Amino acid sequence: MDYNSKLPNVGTTIFTVMSALANQYNAINLSQGFPNYSSPQKLNDLVTDALNNGYNQYAPMSGNLDLRLGISDKYELLYGSNYHPEKEITVTAGATQAIYTIISAFIRPNDEVVIFKPAYDCYQPAIEVNGGKTISIQLSAPDYKINWQEVASKLSSKTKMIIINSPHNPSGTVWSKDDMLQLQNLTKNTNIIVLSDEVYEHIVFDETLHQSVCLFNDLKHRSFVTASFGKTFHNTGWKVGYCCAPEYLMSEFRKVHQFNVFSVNHPAQKGIADYMQDSQTYLNLNNFFQQKRDLFLNLISESRFKFRPSQGTYFQVLDYSEITDQHDVDFAKRLTKDHKIASIPLSVFNEADKDDMVLRFCFAKTDETLIKAAEILCRI
């Protein structure tokens, strides 16, 4: 049968490729971003309680109400920002589904969507399968700073959406308040929707503050925030996340969401709702991951890899240019096969595979794994 692929250039994601290679060669897997320790016992118990107490049928389309109340309280507590639990918050099957649904609810053929590269890999295919056009702004190692004049020059009457992601995967950089004000300024009096992917909001280091779009009134009015409990509560396999937006945007989102997934795993939602009533469950995350980042960086400080400490996320970018001039994808594969340590090459997230000779390492791992990984990196 003849058919035209809607995504002719899309292959298997680098996360799948590198994790499979790590398994094949029995390498320490610091590639795909997931913890190698357990999800918190208390949370597991609360989900088990939910399973045993009748939370086994469809959740409400927009999410378990206790969970939406908990999310709403969190925004009030952390940002002094109000999202109405019934009208402005929807629980999703991970942030990936929220992102896809937002894009498909708003992007029509030939609409332009601005993204910053290196970009998390689910944005561009979601834009393009919906007929949209990706407008890329390429950032560069080591600081991935944004040139706001360049951003201004890429906006036009065709710009329908801008996707931002801070703390940023894969670079580990965090946008400043000034960056947010620049974005607010540029989008003022336009019809541009902002999709702010904030899945790492609770993982920022060295007293850095996470600048959520909801802190900026004009931005908040035009924005979706997306978030992932998998990142916050160490269970990426549960695939529960959510998004928040003003009611006029959220009502459009739900038109698609109800036919896309309708509703999300109910016992997990109820367990998470009960667990997050204690705000320490998410407020402790900065310290937890800062200790892991510092352990990892101290252990590799004498290696030939160069780095700027990650400002947020659970990823650390390492520059290997003193070791080899090999292309980053080839070097990442060689490290996995020959040295038994897997990472993610950044070029795959860049425009035209731009190679800055940097690799991303995930430090959401036990201290024991990080110590073993550092020993290998110090020998290279």
The binding site for ligand PMP (CB under 6 A) comprises: 33, 94-96, 120, 165, 169, 197, 199, 228, 230-231, 236, 241
Chain residue at closest Cβ approach to ligand PMP? 94
CB proximity list for 295: less than 8 A, separation 6 or greater: 367, 370, 371
Angle among Cα 342, 141, 232 to the nearest 5 degrees reads 55
DSSP string of 108-134, one letter each residue: -TT-EEEEEES--TTHHHHHHHTT-EE
Nearest distance, CB of residue 331 and ligand PMP, angstroms = 22
**Best CA proximity match to 272, nearest among 236, 240, 313:** 240
94 binds, among ligand PMP, ligand GLN, none (CB under 5 to 8 A by kind): ligand PMP
Nearest distance, CB of residue 104 and ligand PMP, angstroms = 15
Cis peptide before 170 (omega within 30 of 0): yes
C-alpha dihedral (154, 256, 277, 239), degrees to nearest 10: -80
Of 282 and 363, nearer to ligand GLN (C-beta) is 363
136 binds, among ligand PMP, ligand GLN, none (CB under 5 to 8 A by kind): none
148 binds, among ligand GLN, ligand PMP, none (CB under 5 to 8 A by kind): none
Of 109 and 237, nearer to ligand GLN (C-beta) is 237
Nearest distance, CB of residue 107 and ligand GLN, angstroms = 21
15 binds, among ligand GLN, ligand PMP, none (CB under 5 to 8 A by kind): ligand GLN
13 binds, among ligand PMP, ligand GLN, none (CB under 5 to 8 A by kind): ligand GLN
Distance CA 325, CA 302 (A): 20
Q: Which residues are at the interface with ligand GLN (CB under 6 A)?
A: 13, 15, 32-33, 169
CB neighbour class for 193 (10 Å; exposed up to 12, middle 13-18, buried from 19): buried
Of 38 and 82, nearer to ligand PMP (C-beta) is 38
State the residue for tokens 């390429």: 138
Chain residue at closest Cβ approach to ligand GLN? 33
Cβ proximity of 150 and 351 under 8 Å: no
Nearest distance, CB of residue 161 and ligand PMP, angstroms = 15
